[in-house]
Structure 1
């Protein structure tokens, strides 16, 4: 479990601090025995100073351990978040099993914070439970095997009942986090589509669904708390019974009614008091375990969520680099299969694309045009065959069917934080994409999330400008760039795309015959995507324009 990999030096210090109570209890018992033996107050002062000095040292060690533990816990949570973010960043955007943005935000922000009490409180208490009771039982056995037997008899009952309650607590906590993640995802999606909800007059219906989700989350949270209180009551009951049994034995033994259990001798008042002082400490880690049992349930659920977030999805494949002098892009007997599907989208595809060529990929809907472009872009793994290119990942530009526009200025949406894209490059890109004459597309104009303020054609031109601003891009992959556009806008986009492709390589998936005719050659995927056929397309079978 990931949580147990956190540094434990702080927990060790806190456990070591708890052991100082043995010295304090021994000093108190020795002082009482000295008073009973008429040694006077002279024998009490050393014991009092011992208790005070050991108490100060214990407090300092415990504070040091808490500080070290907090730093290590924070570092561990940051490491888990970093691993999850790296995993999300290396997952393909084409992965259908990827976590929703609301779920990922809930796990990284809320559930990750639930690990802090787990690491700060539960793990140190768990370590004290494994060490302190056994050590106290061993010290008690030195004086009275009967008292130690009573402690050891009462101790296993507590973990047994705690385990029974813990199973229910973990299940309830997992359901609570799932409910919270679903509610966050629902809220985030509805906030994104708030304009559409208002247009459809569905705001009240959405608010009602959100209210129902909130009430369901409240009920699950209360169920987790009820289980936590139940575990605390069970532990307090058995720990109180254990201490009471030890006190009864010691009391009757000192009165002379129970003359066994002390290795053939009678306990003195100091020894009996020492055992009584240790008995509550024997159960103290178990009582603390009850108090932090809810932290364990929430923490383990959060760890499972982090693991699922880290391991989920299809990773971006490693690109095979072609030797210098080879074709810009080479595909040989290529087959691509989506995760979870038994049949590939297409198979047996062979293609050689030289630098500067313009190729149109055609075919009916669902034959794999978008899948082919995503595979070439490195967003999907290859199921069979070979794909090699002389390009680096930063030299490939992508124009998808749906352009994502971030909330910010037009200039920020074009530069995308690339240091090589300056103001002059942005202005030239706007001119090439024919956005320079659009009022709502000047560099300092603010855009809303999702492209609020731009039409569909203008958002597509913005995508063209992103590529035009970066001269290092050598291969442009365009997926249906003229779909859902009127004829005039489609012609303008085609002209801008051809101008952008001068000196670069174009690979365009399209249904538009005018756009396909404007490119150098065409390739159809219709035959390759049929499941009952497996023809082998070669370079000679590509139809020139």
Structure 2
């Protein structure tokens, strides 16, 4: 049993693949912001000179301002490009992890259904993009630019510096308080998205049954209620974001207004303090007026991106819950392999399943027909999974084809098997692809063995028909017979069937039983796990697992 890594609580660790590009984007973004004080100095020099009669070179000021503007735009462009590239790399890596985990999973996920996992891999991971591309560069600018501007403000006027120093810290303090509520609201929204996706997948898979039972209005009512809950949670997240932005704008507007009032009255001669013992010059006053909005601009940007961080943290927590979920990893590479040579025999010796169930020793000879019986939870399905090489025992050994089953030969052993699970499950491709799984063989013979050929011919596109994951459009018995056809396709040497006749009517159960026995008559070893006494009685031998624990 393979255990997933411990939960990732540090978002920087989670986003490690794009870290270098993200850092470069942050540096370029900071350099782009530092250029503005130089541009402001040129503007103040030009306008101040005109006001004092010094007649500065307008051409020099214009070319200097324009050149710095182009440099600032170029740095901003490359910063945005690097940040976007870093976001794409991070999201692609995490999405690949989820796909690889699900492709190699040997048991159902406890994290959630297919809808929850699909939502995490698609729309939820996309919420990490704004964090990388917007929040991270903005955070870097907030750490540098306000300090640079604060030093320049104090250099020219201690009064302006004090105004900025007092009003500036109030903004991050308030944002930290708002952020706690924002993260909780984002987490509730993330959970609701997963629940709604699971609900939708389940209802779509049962769409035909819903229509036949006339339950459409009831299903729509439930879906409308859940959609309304998600809408309210989304509005709550947006409300928190708008609240933080509004308060920030209020503080910024007050701070800029106080700077403007001080500069204006100082230039009019009404205020004689705040400029280090000398009157405030027009150049210094204009320079301070141009710097004040830029002092608050990184904080404005941080407020706009603050909900991006909270959403990303909520996604990080959810991904951590998914990644730390213990799961049995499929032994081997899951690839097509040459069949393992030797007899189609299997034996379990002292095996304890990954879930902790201790199994008795089981030995099944080549060509034998065996039924595993016992109460629910006695380990019948677990024994089949060990025989199929879908899991390896916690301790003990599985002997197949007269040799120990390991991760190295699991693919070769599974190439000889036919597997009929208890719950029918289909891939997203055509019916032919679901039956053959990329292997050659006589599809028609497999359909005839499973007594499902006439049903397939009646489908709109026959073997080209696409089914849902649970076989939407087919009855439970028809879906079960299709899984039998898939299991017997390619003439497997060992056929494993888990509760093949469960929940079937007598006639369908008879057809499934005859199909299994027909494959055994061709020389295949047949092992079934069942509660069906009539089916068990037709086997060569019955192994009672009893109350195995």
Stretch of structure 1 that moved more, 498-507 or 289-298: 498-507
What residue number does 2:385 align with?
Answer: 374
- Superposition map of 1:138-537 within 5 A: 138-254=151-267, 261-316=274-329, 318=331, 329-336=346-353, 338=355, 344=356, 346-347=357-358, 349-379=360-390, 382-387=393-398, 388-389=404-405, 391-393=409-411, 394-395=414-415, 396-405=417-426, 409-416=430-437, 418=438, 420-421=439-440, 424-436=441-453, 439-440=457-458, 444=463, 446=465, 448-449=467-468, 450-451=470-471, 454=474, 456-470=476-490, 473-485=492-504, 490=509, 492-501=511-520, 502-529=522-549
- Asked if the contact 1:447/1:453 (under 8 Å) is kept, the reply is no
- Asked if the contact 2:344/2:366 (under 8 Å) is kept, the reply is yes
Structure 1 residues 517 and 184 mapped into 2: Cα distance closer, same or farther (>3 Å)?
Answer: closer
How far residue 406 of structure 1 moved from its aligned partner, in angstroms, is 5.0
What residue number does 2:78 align with?
Answer: 64
How far residue 282 of structure 1 moved from its aligned partner, in angstroms, is 0.9
Size of the aligned set, in residue pairs, is 514
What residue number does 2:144 align with?
Answer: 131
How far residue 21 of structure 1 moved from its aligned partner, in angstroms, is 0.6
How far residue 36 of structure 1 moved from its aligned partner, in angstroms, is 4.2
Structure 1 residues 413 and 50 mapped into 2: Cα distance closer, same or farther (>3 Å)?
Answer: same
- Asked if the contact 1:81/1:112 (under 8 Å) is kept, the reply is yes
Which runs of no fewer than 5 residues in structure 1 stay unpaired?
Answer: 339-343, 530-545
TM-score, normalisation: structure 1: 0.83
1:222 and 1:457 mapped to 2: Cα distance? Answer: 45
- Asked if the contact 2:86/2:133 (under 8 Å) is kept, the reply is no
How far residue 285 of structure 1 moved from its aligned partner, in angstroms, is 0.5
CA displacement, residues 135-179 of structure 1 (integer Å, 9 cap, x when unaligned)? 222333333444333322221111111111111122112222322
How far residue 235 of structure 1 moved from its aligned partner, in angstroms, is 0.6
Q: Per the alignment, in what secondary structure is the counterpart of residue 444 of structure 1?
A: helix
1:413 and 1:436 mapped to 2: Cα distance? Answer: 15
- Asked if the contact 2:374/2:531 (under 8 Å) is kept, the reply is yes
2:268 and 2:419 mapped to 1: Cα distance? Answer: 89
1:486 and 1:217 mapped to 2: Cα distance? Answer: 41
How far residue 304 of structure 1 moved from its aligned partner, in angstroms, is 2.7
Alignment of 1:83 with 2:97, yes or no, is: yes
1:513 and 1:191 mapped to 2: Cα distance? Answer: 35
- Asked if the contact 2:420/2:500 (under 8 Å) is kept, the reply is yes
- Asked if the contact 2:106/2:329 (under 8 Å) is kept, the reply is yes
Q: Per the alignment, in what secondary structure is the counterpart of residue 303 of structure 1?
A: helix
How far residue 91 of structure 1 moved from its aligned partner, in angstroms, is 3.1
Structure 1 residues 223 and 58 mapped into 2: Cα distance closer, same or farther (>3 Å)?
Answer: same
CA displacement, residues 171-191 of structure 1 (integer Å, 9 cap, x when unaligned)? 112222322332232232222
2:64 and 2:366 mapped to 1: Cα distance? Answer: 85
1:453 and 1:172 mapped to 2: Cα distance? Answer: 39
2:187 and 2:51 mapped to 1: Cα distance? Answer: 57
2:480 and 2:198 mapped to 1: Cα distance? Answer: 28
What residue number does 2:5 align with?
Answer: none
1:48 to 62, 76, 97: 62
- Asked if the contact 1:406/1:451 (under 8 Å) is kept, the reply is no
What residue number does 1:534 align with?
Answer: none
- Asked if the contact 1:333/1:386 (under 8 Å) is kept, the reply is yes
Q: Per the alignment, in what secondary structure is the counterpart of residue 17 of structure 1?
A: helix
Structure 1 residues 485 and 153 mapped into 2: Cα distance closer, same or farther (>3 Å)?
Answer: closer
1:280 and 1:452 mapped to 2: Cα distance? Answer: 60
2:225 and 2:472 mapped to 1: Cα distance? Answer: 30
Which runs of no fewer than 5 residues in structure 2 stay unpaired?
Answer: 1-9, 334-339, 399-403
TM-score, normalisation: structure 2: 0.83
What RMSD, in angstroms, separates the aligned Cα atoms of the two structures?
3.3
Structure 1 residues 495 and 217 mapped into 2: Cα distance closer, same or farther (>3 Å)?
Answer: closer
Alignment of 1:2 with 2:11, yes or no, is: yes
